[in-house]
Structure 1
């Protein structure tokens, strides 16, 4: 029987399958290779395209910011800073180790390992964001952040992200990790106009960066994510919460222990550091910045503005207002107050624009236009004294009617014949109006303009009673002219302006004064102003042992009340009222404003010049026969030229 060979029926098909799989795998690799080649080519093309306009990374040391204006007091102490502030150019060794660790832990944990772009960091960020369902972590490295703030705009575009990565890689090749970290922390924005950790430490904590605590370092590092959101001055609670997250991240990285966290104490003062200056209520510095265009026509550089302010007097004036206004709202429906102090040279040595700068930045001393009331009578009576009247001239206090208007006296009584001095001291309305009408309103308006009232005034009969508006600063400046012997010394706030190198850009010479009040009229009006306090409407401003001068002002329906007064060395104007122009509860210029004035002036006399009153008694009989205030006036004049009060008195005593 013939044997037949068995067939292998499926061998050919199996071989065919293997061949097909092999071809598919080869095709897959070929396609993959082509796709990879295309992708690489596209990436190279994109890199080449976006590399064409990359900046020179050597420019990383250049820093462009808005000009800053540093306002200083007369002794060179910083009152306030405006514009962008940049801290010192710190070396890496100056930056606290805890701050660097905090920044690395919360911002870029692989900073010292990656080469500018952290792929694993990006993957980790994507995973955590997806798990949280929101963006909780970013993928940018510190080097990329430096690239962004040094060279790029904050716009979120594909081009910017590519260029950010490319610049970061170039930075890593050229600079060390220490240099990159140093540059970043010197440059990064940390809210409130502060650039760099040094500026931020001064602003938020009032200390140099070398002195920050662990908790303060955590707060600064926590702000990097969103400065406006996590700045302690903006949101104290959120800032602390963020700092705790930073501390936890530091613990995870073994930079600190849990015990270190327990020992860390949140800083108590974080809302205003020394970087912004000593003024807690910077109405004065705001006014100075507003005046800057008068002194500098154009400016694109950092400048220092040396001003006339005396910080000690400023604090006392603020204290006097706060103390007297503490319960004024509930008692008298008076919610606001303002004051300005001007020395013999016309320098504004103190200025308060309101009760609380935090609640309202509106400057009521310089910008508010309010009715001066009877304080305007100064111009009426000066006009009279310059046109034939004297303080002893007899005038008639009786009803007067002009067209349909009839002014009334506050007392609702009429005294008949009175001398000018008495009418002024008692602030008799009918006499002021009669004088204004007989002299001519235009003359009164001209006198006011000559003494510094810049506001345009309507020619109305009521102008004699202060119905036209002006600022407290201008009104106080007018009284300071009387205090200074009748010379048109205008109030000013700026002594000089320099650039950062010390080059003088502006210098206030202010040494040319014109006589605008005759000696006779000036002496008589001063005498009359003294009588206002001695036995007139300003009795509450009396200071025992001191010769003071002043005038009260109260407007219709008690909407405004002011007191403007002076000694031989200082003029101070005080206003009280409400921003919405509502009436107060019978608050008059001789009341609350005069009390504020006295509290400030009394402290000033006692603290700065109290020894004079005792030392004057030691001066010989011949000296005693002269006016004490004339002598004191010469003392203060000499003191302002650099000589001490004690040495002047000692010299005069020996004589």
Structure 2
């Protein structure tokens, strides 16, 4: 082997060795950098801080809160015209660099020096995406270095098309629009594939200064910026000179719209959700955002309920409706008024209204629990209790009547009689067990039996749902599941939610359901009948028909309807209006449920025992002086209206003492 040949072999070997070492060093350096940088593939799950998405039971978006991209363009569905406009405007060498554009940086530097000001940026689309997703907007050298390293990593982990699509879905474009789909809607009420050349160019010109270039802020500046983008598109060969001229001379043709999902499609419900979220999540979790709240709301039913309230509210009264799944406590429907835009007051959760005769559930349940049977006879007649003299509707009295029929016809004297018989403590305890009077204590006044203490529609619905659930009370909830920024489960109602508690015995609940079915099949709630489908429910009317109620259940769903005026003035309707509206709603959704019967009326083996029998102490030391006396709560004073209470039910107007 000649010396010359050996020389070239040495040179070649050295070159290969140096190349290998350089490649290894580059790989080592790249791996070291990658280890401290975020995974670029996380971009697909990117959410800005503070964003919350509220979803219905079937996954439909109810509302998006915070700086969220409200609508994204699906993969491979981004219009070519839009892509070309942004590439020409923001990164003309996008398809030829590896995240950093050295030529672009040099060109921008020369241009800015000539103009004496910053007229052209040098950040690539890849750098802008890295900054948006992983970094802040601060202008510091460390942030710029991180941005460059991330851009390089993005180019290695994602394709050019993926980078461009993600950028176009996340870039802020002014007026609350995050991404091209949002901008197309906000400025032109269109989807991205409907945008014309001048419209696409106008949107593509906004990223450098969205608040300045927005046509909703300054149309003149927006037109000037659009002209620059059109010129760049022509220079890049994306459009012809003729197309550029035509687009440059076209009017803006703006058609502004509110960003999609900015307003809630169920605002009364979502306002309640916002109040409940802090009970499950920490302030830090809410601040970080990226949350998906899978709510209990059935959006289709919600729309039906809203329509029913607006259509069937008597006169110009307000209305409310709540539907709860008895077995879980999940709220499927919540309508807090006719129009959220007119009034944000939620009449389902905030309004305290007299429940009227729907409150009779509690004295009757307490009586059944104490051993009184549905077939036991009671006397319906004019009577006073310590100065309180209720009267029946129409001043009609039935004399001797079975307890079940007294509820069927909503006899007020019997409800007060039951309260007197079983005692205040028993009725109040029953109400407390069913979630009523736990935050606002119930007083020991005879009008309590027939609705003198105001309650919310939500709480009354939950109480009736517990009876439909055979005595198991489930706390009302708007949540099914909560997922975090990486789609991890933070909270699940099935595993971490309220487990329910026994509020009353199942035989008592079954008996009440049997009695409430008779209210609908042939009593005051007949307007709510669903034919062959069993319905258990109760009407309620307060004095002057100020509050009109019906709360009814099928085994799978409990729904309450309330009508009335916010200023508490008298209405011209009756509880039959609420029962009829209930039926209209249930008729629309009942096909979602199999026809199921309530459990049959049980045989009650309880024996009634008057409450609190004790023996008094002997007098003068004589044991014979001890006599059985009723030492319950003792009789309350002569009738006094409950302090701060609501108007009384029209059926318990005081009558003269006999």
Once the two structures are TM-superposed, the CA of residue 496 in structure 1 deviates from its matched residue by 2.3
User: How many Å apart are 1:220 and its aligned residue?
Assistant: 4.4
Partner of 2:10: none
Matched, 1:458 2:442: yes
Specify the SS of the correspondent of 1:442. Answer: helix
| Equivalent residue, structure 2, for 1:552 | 539
1:316 aligns with 2:304: yes
Task: State the 1:573 CA deviation.
Answer: 1.1
Q: In the aligned structure 2, how far is the partner of 1:122 from the partner of 1:439? A: 93
Which residue does 2:400 correspond to in 1?
417
2:568 is aligned with 1:600: no
| Residue 274 of structure 2 corresponds to residue 289 of structure 1 | yes
Residue in 1 aligned with 2:291? 303
1:103, distance to aligned residue in structure 2 (A): 7.6
Which protein shows a greater Rg? 1
Partner of 1:38: none
Kindly state the Cα deviation for residue 382 of structure 1 after the two structures are TM-superposed.
0.5
C-alpha displacement at 1:595, in angstroms?
A: 2.0
Partner secondary structure for residue 502 of structure 2: coil
Distance 2:542 2:586 in 1: 24
Which residue number corresponds to residue 538 of structure 1? 525
Structure 1 residues 231 and 548: CA distance shift in structure 2, 3 A: farther
Residues 89 and 403 of structure 1: CA distance in aligned 2, closer, same or farther (over 3 Å): closer
**Cα distance in 1 for residues equivalent to 2:368 and 2:442:** 23
| SS of alignment partner, residue 544 of structure 2 | helix
Among 447, 461, 479, the residue aligned to 1:476:
461
Q: 1:219 to 1:389 in 2, by over 3 A?
A: farther
Displacement after TM superposition at 1:181 (Å): 9.9
The equivalent position to 1:491 in structure 2, one of 476, 500, 508, is 476
Q: 8 Å contact 2:305–2:321 — kept in the other structure? A: no
**Whole-Å Cα distance in 2 between the matches of residues 267 and 246 of structure 1?**
16
Residue 489 of structure 2 corresponds to residue 504 of structure 1:
yes
Per-residue Cα deviation, 1:592-643 (whole angstroms, up to 9, x for no partner): x2222111111222x435xx67xxxxxxxxxxxxxx72699xxxxxxxxxxx
| 253-262 vs 188-197, greater mean Cα deviation | 253-262
- C-alpha distance in 2 between matches for 1:337 and 1:524: 28
| 1:569 to partner: Cα distance | 1.6
> What does 1:164-183 correspond to in 2, within 5 Å?
none
Contact kept? 2:527, 2:576, Cα under 8 Å:
yes
**CA shift for structure 1 position 446:** 1.1
Rounded to whole Å, the distance in 1 between the matches of 2:505 and 2:361 is 15
Aligned to 1:66: 49
Q: CA deviation at 1:536?
A: 2.0
1:86/1:559 Cα in 2 relative to 1: closer, same or farther (>3 Å)? same
Shift of residue 387, structure 1, vs aligned partner = 1.1
- The 1-side partners of 2:394 and 2:212 are apart by 59
Between Structure 1 and Structure 2, the one with more helix by share is 1
Deviation at 1:570, TM superposition (A): 1.3
Match of 1:366 among 324, 335, 349: 349
Shift of 1:435: 1.7
1:567 to partner: Cα distance: 1.0
Distance (whole Å) between structure 1 residues aligned to residue 75 and residue 122 of structure 2: 15
Correspondence 1:629 to 2:613? no
Deviation at 1:372, TM superposition (A): 1.5
Q: Secondary structure at 1:573's aligned position in 2?
A: strand
Higher relative CO (Cα under 8 Å, sequence separation at least 6) belongs to: 2
Matches within 5 A, 1:375-454: 375-403=358-386, 405-453=388-436, 454=438
Q: Distance in 1 between matches of 2:276 and 2:256?
A: 32
- Structure-2 residue corresponding to 1:27: none
Q: Could you tell me how far 1:564 is from its partner in structure 2?
A: 0.6
Taking structure 1 as the reference length, what is the TM-score of the superposition?
Answer: 0.64
Range with bigger deviation, 361-370 or 372-381: 361-370
Q: How does 1:95-174 map to 2 (within 5 A)?
A: 99=82
How has the CA–CA distance of structure 1 residues 559 and 123 changed in structure 2, closer, same or farther, with 3 Å as cutoff? farther
1:523 — aligned with what?
510
Partner of 2:612: none
Q: CA deviation at 1:475?
A: 1.0
In structure 2, distance between residues paired with 1:412 and 1:220: 72
Q: How high is the TM-score relative to the length of structure 2? A: 0.64
Aligned to 2:575, the other structure's residue is in SS state coil
In the alignment, what sits opposite 2:636? none
Q: Deviations over 1:40-69 (max 9, x none)?
A: xxxxxxxxxxxxxxxxxx99x999942322
2-side partners of 1:219 and 1:558: how far apart?
Answer: 59
Q: After TM superposition, give the deviation of residue 436 of structure 1 in Å.
A: 1.6
Residue by residue, what CA displacement relative to the aligned partner does 1:104-148 show, whole Å, maximum 9, x if unpaired?
A: 999999x9989798999999999xxxxxxxxxxx97969699799
Residues 408 and 518 in structure 2, CA contact (< 8 A), matched pair in contact too = yes
Give 3-state SS (helix, strand or coil) of 1:501's partner. coil
Runs of 5+ unmatched residues, structure 1 = 1-57, 127-137, 155-159, 614-627, 633-655
8 A contact 2:433–2:504 mirrored in 1: no
Long gaps (5+) in structure 2 = 1-36, 95-102, 155-159, 601-658
Please report how far the alpha carbon of residue 464 of structure 1 lies from its aligned counterpart in structure 2 after TM superposition.
Answer: 1.5
Q: How far off its partner does 1:478 sit?
A: 1.0
Structure 2: distance between partners of 1:186 and 1:486: 50
**Cα offset for 1:589?**
2.4
Q: How far apart are the structure 2 equivalents of 1:446 and 1:491?
A: 20
How many residue pairs get matched?
A: 528
Give the secondary-structure state (helix, strand or coil) at the position aligned to 2:397.
coil
Relative to structure 1, the CA distance from residue 203 to residue 545 in structure 2 (aligned partners, 3 Å threshold; closer, same or farther) is: farther
- Secondary structure of the structure 1 residue equivalent to 2:538: strand
SS in 2 for 1:349: strand
1:353 paired with 2:336, answer yes
Distance of 2:310 and 2:205 partners within structure 1: 37
1:80 paired residue number: 63
Report the CA distance shift for 1:217/1:575 in structure 2 as closer, same or farther (over 3 A): farther
Asked if the contact 2:48–2:289 (Cα under 8 Å) also holds between the matched residues in 1, the reply is: no
Structure 1 CA distance for aligned equivalents of residues 221 and 340 of structure 2: 29
Specify whether residues 544 and 92 from structure 1 end up closer, same or farther in structure 2 by C-alpha distance, changes over 3 A only: closer
- On the 8 A contact 1:218/1:243 being kept in 2, the answer is no
Change (3 A) 1:337 1:242: farther
Q: In structure 2, do the counterparts of structure 1 residues 152 and 343 end up closer, same or farther at CA, with 3 Å as the change threshold?
A: closer
**Structure 1 range deviating more: 281-290 or 545-554:** 281-290
